[in-house]
Amino acid sequence: MTLFEYISIATSLILSFSLARTLTNLAPIFASERRYWVHTTWVLGLLAYHATLFWQLWLYQGIEDWTLAEFGLFLMGPIVLLVSVSMLVPIEAVPDYRVHFESIRGPFYSVLIAMQIQPALLPYFLFDMPLSAHPLLLGPVVFATAAVVGLVGRRRSIDMFLVCFYVFGVIGGLFTINDHEALMETVRGLTR
């Protein structure tokens, strides 16, 4: 077993636990008397983000030497995703998901900010890519800034805008990272 396979198993276990937790508790979220479209859209967006993290995993298959710190940073993405879905999708159904979302808004946006650290720093540590030349740094910086706006703004209209912005970003990210070879060629060109 290669080190990448070992790391992939750890990552896949955390992602699968997060996905199972979300899907198991999904039915009450869609109940019409409890539903809040912003909350529901965040949950669906984070479900799509599971696919993004899993798909990005393959980008790192050529790395043979990992440090414990790099492994920890690599696992940070799935762990923070698990924390975020645990906040959004509690084990016990709540009577009103609007009230629930508004009660976790601050911590949730804080976790979204933390979620952007991993994709911003991984190429720097694993590919020795300078942060100034990192083409994928724009997404995490924009999403972290948007989450800060949500954290400070505390308005429903901001929440509505941010959830749409995030979902379109995740969907766009899935299309951007779809071609692993082209993305790896870009990374190799920046690290030479």
Distance between first and last Cα of the chain: 29
Confidence class of residue 14 from pLDDT cuts 50, 70 and 90? Answer: very high
pLDDT at 179 over 80: no
- Average confidence (pLDDT) over 56-66: 80
Give residue 184's pLDDT: 61
Per-residue pLDDT tens digits for 134-173: 666 777 788 888 888 888 887 888 888 889 888 888 777 7
177 DSSP assignment = T
Helices of type H across the chain: 3-24, 37-57, 68-88, 97-115, 117-127, 138-153, 156-176, 180-191
Confidence class of residue 131 from pLDDT cuts 50, 70 and 90? Answer: low
Q: What is the pTM of this model?
A: 0.84
